[in-house]
Amino acid sequence: MPAAVEFEPHRRLWLLTGPSTSYAVRLAADDGVRHVHWGEPVTLDQAAELADRDERTPHPAASSFEHGVGPEELPVEGGPRFGPAALRVRFADGTRAVEWRHTGARVEAESLRIDLADRHYPLAVALHYRLAGDVLERWTEVTNHGTTPIAVLRCDSAAWTVPAGPRHRLSHLVGAWSSEFRLQRADLPTAETVLTSRRGVTSHHANPWLAIDDGTAGEEHGEVFSAALAWSGSWRITVHRDPSGRAGFTGGFGHEGLSWTLAPGETLETPVFAGLHTRSGFGGASRSWHRYVRDEILPETRETRPVLYNSWEATGFDVDEAGQLALAARAAGLGAELFVMDDGWFGARTSERAGLGDWTPNPHRFPRGLAPLAAEVRRLGMRFGLWLEPEMVNPDSDLYRTHPDWVLHMPHRRRTEMRHQLVLNLGRPDVAAWTHQWLDALVGDLGLDFLKWDANRPFTEAGWPGHPDPDRVHLAHTRAVYQIMDRLRADHPGLRIESCAGGGGRADLGILRRTDQVWPSDNTDAVDRIAIQHGFGQLFPARVMGAWVTDSPNVTTGRVIPLRFRFHVAMAGVLGLGGNLTAWTTEELKEAAGLVAAYKVVRPVVQHGTAYRVSGGGTLTGVHYVLGADQVILAWCPSRPYGHTPGPLRLTAVDPQGVYRDLDTGATHSGAALLTSGLPLDLPAGDHASVLVRLTRIDDSE
């Protein structure tokens, strides 16, 4: 069923309906936009009934201390409102309260725009809704139609309301460098809970994604509401639950304390805050997100990501032509399709102390430039890519010596260095133009196929001296990154981009509109990676999840892990190789080549299929990918406490009437058996046991 928007004029009620979700809002008597429904598909009559109930139920009780507004789509300040405001402004005379007047609405096929204006001041707001399947995209525009500036103290993309109830549970992602995307799931306190990044990038520490359920949802059952913000700079989401059990959240760009001056005639447009509802549990929510990312967000929706090789863990900063050629030869021999030279190839970049900003090949390391390396990589049958960190500069660089004013800074304040680097202010048109110009020339000259776009520190002293509205830098910098990427892609159609910020510091729906994959973490330890991938996969599909097989012991954790296990974990995403292949034994190279070949066989199912997370007893977990009749199961059992054999891996995505053949062993399984007693696994004994199983459905009742 295509998405539709309906309007009921008597109640001034709009209903948006997608394949399995409806969303309804209405204009209240005070012209504010009230939330009516988010959940099951309902008819317009049913939505009207819900709106009438909402109108009759006073919000809330009879006490002079309670508020009486009801759930709003974009709460402002003023009136009896005491929750977190989604829009906070201050007019030139000091007034902060807003009172609305409805000025119009526009319905198009799958989208709705509701226009409001302040009753006195020249402030206009447009609330936007667009259905993309069952994902509802929401964003806001605020416009100053007057002649004096208006201060915008907060401008969220959207406020969302979930059904009231005795209990709410919040799922969200936390982390740090090397331990990103750790899923947390705990009861929502009766309080305001803030998820935020004040770092100028999306951040390792919190990701702008969340899910809310009533405490009873599971992987494949239960009602789940989930939302994700499409923004790659600082952000803030405030989740709230009040003592009577009402709950919701509001979110958007910028962290608390920032403000923007809306000049006369100016419009500020927020990023999209997307939301979805499902009755199919956390797994169902993830699958809806995956579909949305693949079909609506990614620039190349149908493309299959290549197996890449990256030099970072092999060489660190010690790159040169001979060393890279040796790695490239081995990588090609293993079946890599894309070779990416990481940090250390430019300027005086022989360590993290110098050279960032001087984007010309180091003449000692690459006396002939990079063209011969690129040519040899291509002769070996691979595409060629480079690591870059375009937003950053080392103070010890020619760029900084020439343009010390190009970085984020504040007068009379020290410039805090992290990893010996500062952040360029890409909000400045001259800095953005320079950045685009050198990137465009580099990509064009070498015909680069791939950029690993890194950003290895957060913002500090994020000022913009001389600018009348210095907090603008938080919006302008991120938008400039977007614009540069968009332009590069438009001008170089073959170019693909990986989003990296010291690992998973910039993974969000905003960056994925212009990138093809994400580097989720600098932690490549396959055991740690299971948890990181579990969290990452709540929102993002395997198609965008870079995953390298690196050396053992692991450089970060020192853990020793068999090659097969390392491969099986990395095969759950976009397989890459990141080890020092020149030190791998002949046996290791042979085994690795076999595993790369095996990945290529299952890759269409992993990258384009539907993912179901499965688990067995003990530490056994896995992912089951389904594409048509083809099924791939990757399962990992990192340890066996007490030597116990893990419990069966019960599949959830098989038809009980179906018959499935194991393509490697020839064994057949009935769907009923796979659902009830599980998939028999031939797990090797001991720790770090893993399997790859390929099934195909062989009955023709499908």
Write out the residues near ligand GLA by the rule CB under 6 A.
312, 342-343, 387, 454, 456, 500, 502-503, 519, 522
Please report how close the Cβ of residue 522 comes to ligand GLA at its closest, in angstroms.
5
Please report how close the Cβ of residue 479 comes to ligand GLA at its closest, in angstroms.
23
Our CB check for ligand GLA shows the closer of 72 and 343 to be 343
Q: Are 301 and 295 in contact (CB under 8 A)?
A: yes
Q: Is 522 a catalytic residue?
A: yes
Q: Are 129 and 239 in contact (CB under 8 A)?
A: no
Please report how close the Cβ of residue 421 comes to ligand GLA at its closest, in angstroms.
10
Our CB check for ligand GLA shows the closer of 318 and 682 to be 318
DSSP codes, 216-256: ---SSSB-EEEEEE--SS-EEEEEEE-TTS-EEEEEEES-T
Strand order in the sheet with 33-39: 4-8, 13-17, 22-27, 33-39
Of 454, 508, 528, 662, which residue is the catalytic one?
454
Our CB check for ligand GLA shows the closer of 470 and 503 to be 503
Please tell me the chain's helix, strand, coil percentages from 3-state DSSP, rounded to the nearest 5. 25, 30, 45
Of 522, 528, 551, 662, which residue is the catalytic one?
522
Please report how close the Cβ of residue 235 comes to ligand GLA at its closest, in angstroms.
21
Please report how close the Cβ of residue 494 comes to ligand GLA at its closest, in angstroms.
22
**Residue 177, burial from CB neighbour count under 10 angstroms (0-12, 13-18, 19+):** middle
Contacts of 412 (CB under 8 A, 6+ apart): none
Please report how close the Cβ of residue 452 comes to ligand GLA at its closest, in angstroms.
6
Q: Please provide residue 390's backbone torsions phi and psi, each rounded to the nearest 5 degrees.
A: -65, -20
Our CB check for ligand GLA shows the closer of 455 and 571 to be 455
Prior bond to 208 cis, omega within 30? no
Our CB check for ligand GLA shows the closer of 129 and 345 to be 345
Q: Are 276 and 288 in contact (CB under 8 A)?
A: yes
Please report how close the Cβ of residue 352 comes to ligand GLA at its closest, in angstroms.
6
Q: Which amino acid is at 217?
A: A
Indicate the residue whose CB is closest to ligand GLA.
Answer: 343
Angle (CA) 362 391 430, round 5°: 100
Our CB check for ligand GLA shows the closer of 276 and 327 to be 327
Q: Which amino acid is at 627?
A: L
Taking the C-alpha atoms of residue 60 and residue 68, their distance in angstroms, rounded to an integer, is 6
What is the β-pairing status of strands 247-253 and 158-162? antiparallel
Please report how close the Cβ of residue 312 comes to ligand GLA at its closest, in angstroms.
4
Contacts of 640 (CB under 8 A, 6+ apart): 618, 619, 646, 686, 687, 689
**Residue 596, burial from CB neighbour count under 10 angstroms (0-12, 13-18, 19+):** buried
Taking the C-alpha atoms of residue 131 and residue 125, their distance in angstroms, rounded to an integer, is 20
Our CB check for ligand GLA shows the closer of 230 and 451 to be 451
Angle (CA) 107 108 110, round 5°: 110
Q: Please provide residue 149's backbone torsions phi and psi, each rounded to the nearest 5 degrees.
A: -65, 155
- Residue 31 token pair: 């012209």
Angle between helices 371-379 and 321-334 (to 10 degrees): 20
Our CB check for ligand GLA shows the closer of 318 and 664 to be 318
Give the catalytic positions in this structure: 454, 522
